Amino acid sequence: MINNTSINHRELYRLPWNLSDNAISWLEPTSACNLACDGCYRENVKDSHKPIAIVREEIETFERLRNADGISIAGGDPLLHPDIVEIVRIIAEKNIKPILNTNGAALTMDLLRELKRAGVYGFTFHVDSKQGRPKWKNKSEIELNDLRLQYAEMLAEVGDISCSFNSTVYEDTLHEVPGLVDWAARHIDIVHVMVFILYRQAVPKIPFDWYAGGKKVDMGALVYSDTNDRKVDLQSPEVVAEIRKRFPEFTPCAYLNGTEKPDHFKWLLTGRIGSKEKVYGYVGPKFMEIMQTMHHIGTGKYLAYERPKLTKKGRSMMLLSPFDRGIRSVAANYFKSVMTNPARFFHGLHFQSIMIIQPIDFLQNGAQSMCDGCPDMTVWNGELVWSCRMEELKHFGCWVRTVPQNGIVER
C-alpha cells in the first residue's frame, strides 16, 4: 500500500462539500443499461424505469434535504429512460444543473439537441476498456480516445455544454492514465473534466463475515462482488505518481477525506490552465477555495460543473495571482511563453479539472471508509444514501457490517 505522505492533505484545500450542502446529488431514474461494464455497482435490471412521478418525488427529496448546484442523472443508463428529456427539464426549471452520466451509446444529435433545449448543463461520459462496447472490444484506453473525441465533438457542435469523461482504473490499466491526461490536454477547449474512478469490489479478501442486522449474509449476491483475485486497494496517490511519470508538475489542489481516514484522498482534484498547445500550470489550494467560496456567496451553492463559456476564461483567472501560488506560476509561464512566441497570445486559455475518486476502502479492522461529504448521495425510501452501496439496501434492507471471523479486531 502506498504511503500517503507523497501528498500532504494538510497542504491542500478540503472541499467544503457535506451531507446537507454539496456540489451535486445523484439521481437514478433507471437501473437498466445497454452495456454491462466491469466494475459497475448497479445491477442491470430490464424495464426498471421509474415512473416520472417517482422521479419528481426523488428530486423534491433532494431539494428538501440537500442544497446542491447540480444533479447527476445516472443509472443504469439514463438515456434509456423514455422521459429523460422531461427529467432534465424538471431539474433545470428548479434552477439546478442537470448533468447526464451516460455511456453515450444511445446519444444521437437529435436527442442531444432536444436535451439542450430542455436545459441540460453537462454530460459525463463513462468510457473505458472494460465495457464490452460492441464496436470497441479489445481496444486500449488510448485507442478509446477516438470514441471520447466523437462525444466531445458532438457536444461542441451543439455548444456551451460541459463535457466530462470518467473511466474506471484497474491495476492493468493504470499505466494508460497518463495517456488520457495527455489526450485531455490536447482537447482542453472541448473537454472540461476527466474523472478516474479506482476499481473496488464488495468482498475483499479480509477475515470478516458480513452481517445485515443480526443476520449473516452472502455478499456474493451483490452485482459488485467479484471472485477474481484483483487489486482492489489502488489509492489516489498511486494514480498521481503514475501521472507524474509523464507530467512531473501535476499537482492536486483539493480533496475530500475518508470517513475513517482524514489523510486519505477519496476525491482528489487537480485544476490546470492551458491552451490546446501547452499546459501552463496547475492551480493551487487558494484558487479552489476562492472559487468555491465566491460561488457559494454568489449563488448559495458550491460549484462542481461550469459551462465552457466560463472555463475558457483562463486569462481572467490569472487575476487571482496575488492570492494563489499555483496561478502565479501559471501566469509567469504563460507570459514567458508569449514573449518567445507572441502568436500564443491569441490562443484560447482554458481551465480543466482532473478528479481521482477512491471509493470505499476496507480497513484492517473491518471498518469501511467512505467519502466524507459524499457528493453522490442518492435517494432510498425518502433518505439520502451512498449510491455506491445501494445494492446492500436493495438486497438486505440495511447496510452490511463486518464481524471478525476469529473474534479478534486488529487495530
For ligand SF4, which residue of 144, 371, 379, 400 counts as binding (CB under 6 A)? Answer: 371
d(CA 77, CA 104): 8
CA-nearest of 298, 372, 183, 254 to 7 is 254
Buried b / exposed e along 303-315 (16+ C-beta atoms within 10 A)? bbbbebeebbbbe
d(CA 204, CA 229): 9
Measured from the CB atom, the residue of 282 and 396 that comes closer to ligand SF4 is 396
Measured from the CB atom, the residue of 152 and 232 that comes closer to ligand SF4 is 232
CA dihedral (254, 322, 272, 105) positive or negative: positive
The minimum distance between CB 377 and ligand SF4, in angstroms, equals 7
The minimum distance between CB 66 and ligand SF4, in angstroms, equals 13
d(CA 359, CA 295): 27
For ligand SF4, which residue of 268, 375, 379, 392 counts as binding (CB under 6 A)? Answer: 375
- HSE-CB at 12 with a 13 A cutoff on CA atoms is 25
The minimum distance between CB 200 and ligand SF4, in angstroms, equals 8
**DSSP 3-state helix, strand, coil percentages of the chain (rounded to 5)?**
35, 20, 45
Measured from the CB atom, the residue of 30 and 101 that comes closer to ligand SF4 is 101
d(CA 303, CA 314): 17
Distances (CA, A) of 368 to 19, 360, 371: 18, 6, 10
The answer to whether residue 195 forms part of the interface with ligand SF4 (CB under 6 A) is no
Measured from the CB atom, the residue of 198 and 320 that comes closer to ligand SF4 is 198
- Using the contact rule CB under 6 A, the part of the chain among 51-59, 184-192, 238-246, 368-376 near ligand SF4 is 368-376
Per-residue contact track with ligand SF4, 233 to 272, x per CB under 6 A?
A: ---------------------------------x------
Measured from the CB atom, the residue of 129 and 358 that comes closer to ligand SF4 is 358
CA-nearest of 175, 143, 167 to 243 is 175
Measured from the CB atom, the residue of 25 and 48 that comes closer to ligand SF4 is 25
For ligand SF4, which residue of 195, 304, 370, 400 counts as binding (CB under 6 A)? Answer: 370
Give the count of residues interacting with ligand SF4 (CB under 6 A): 10
Measured from the CB atom, the residue of 291 and 371 that comes closer to ligand SF4 is 371
d(CA 259, CA 198): 17
d(CA 70, CA 224): 27
The answer to whether residue 168 forms part of the interface with ligand SF4 (CB under 6 A) is no
Phi, psi dihedral angles at 205 (to 5 degrees): -85, 85
Measured from the CB atom, the residue of 124 and 329 that comes closer to ligand SF4 is 124
The minimum distance between CB 229 and ligand SF4, in angstroms, equals 22
Check: CB of residue 251 under 8 Å from CB of residue 287. no
Q: Which amino acid is at 196?
A: F
- 252's CB contacts (< 8 A; 6+ apart) are 7, 12, 240, 265, 268, 269, 270, 356
For ligand SF4, which residue of 359, 369, 379, 392 counts as binding (CB under 6 A)? Answer: 359
How would you classify residue 288: left for phi > 0, otherwise alpha for psi between -120 and 50, otherwise beta? alpha
d(CA 5, CA 371): 19
Per-residue contact track with ligand SF4, 380 to 409, x per CB under 6 A?
A: ------xxx---------------------
The minimum distance between CB 220 and ligand SF4, in angstroms, equals 21
The minimum distance between CB 287 and ligand SF4, in angstroms, equals 23
Measured from the CB atom, the residue of 29 and 119 that comes closer to ligand SF4 is 29
The minimum distance between CB 225 and ligand SF4, in angstroms, equals 16
For ligand SF4, which residue of 374, 379, 384, 400 counts as binding (CB under 6 A)? Answer: 374
Measured from the CB atom, the residue of 15 and 374 that comes closer to ligand SF4 is 374
* Site of interaction with ligand SF4 (CB under 6 A): 266, 359, 370-371, 374-376, 386-388
